[in-house]
Amino acid sequence: MTYIGKQKGKDKLTLIKEINARMNKAKYISDSNNWGQKDFWATPSEFMAKFGDCEDYAIIKYISLRMLGFKENEIRVVAVKDLNLKVGHAILVAFVDGKTYVLDNQIKQVVEASTVRHYQPVFSIGTKTWWRHRV
């Protein structure tokens, strides 16, 4: 049985913690080192073969949670500006039991979004929709 298959049947909060921890074990590799390009959004297969950078972690987490039954409106890839480092970054956000959680390759644990103050959301992406955040 696959790793994803072994997760089926668990509650949603447990699932986001399991998927975040598992995918965060992958090695971070910049797009320029991995693909010879400034920016490359890897497919889940490419990520599992060669790992990747922040948006690749967010995408593999998104796809994994969709495979585990999360609905379109329960998860989003969010492009943020890291206000501390002054760079763009990507995370996954999950909505579970009325709370918003951040799944981030730079933060070991899943945390409530309200506790993360150094990210400014720029836009969010779902399967069928995208949202631009205004400051």
pLDDT tens, residue by residue, 70-87:
999 999 999 999 999 999
Q: What residue numbers bound the domain in which 105 lies?
A: 10-132
- CATH number for the domain spanning 32: value is 3.10.620.30
Query: Do the domain assignments include residue 25?
Result: yes
Looking at the domain assignment, is residue 74 inside a domain?
yes
Contacts of 87 (CB under 8 A, 6+ apart): 81
In a domain, 62, yes or no: yes
3-state class of 110 per DSSP? coil
Say if 2 falls within a structural domain.
no
What's the structural domain count of the chain?
1
Contact in structure between 45 and 79 (CB atoms under 8 Å): no
pTM score: 0.92
Residue 112 has pLDDT above 80, yes or no: yes
Q: Does the pLDDT value for residue 5 go beyond 90?
A: no
Phi-psi region of 56 (alpha: psi -120 to 50; beta: other; left: phi over 0): alpha
Whether the pLDDT of residue 4 is over 90: the answer is no
Q: 4 lies in a domain? A: no
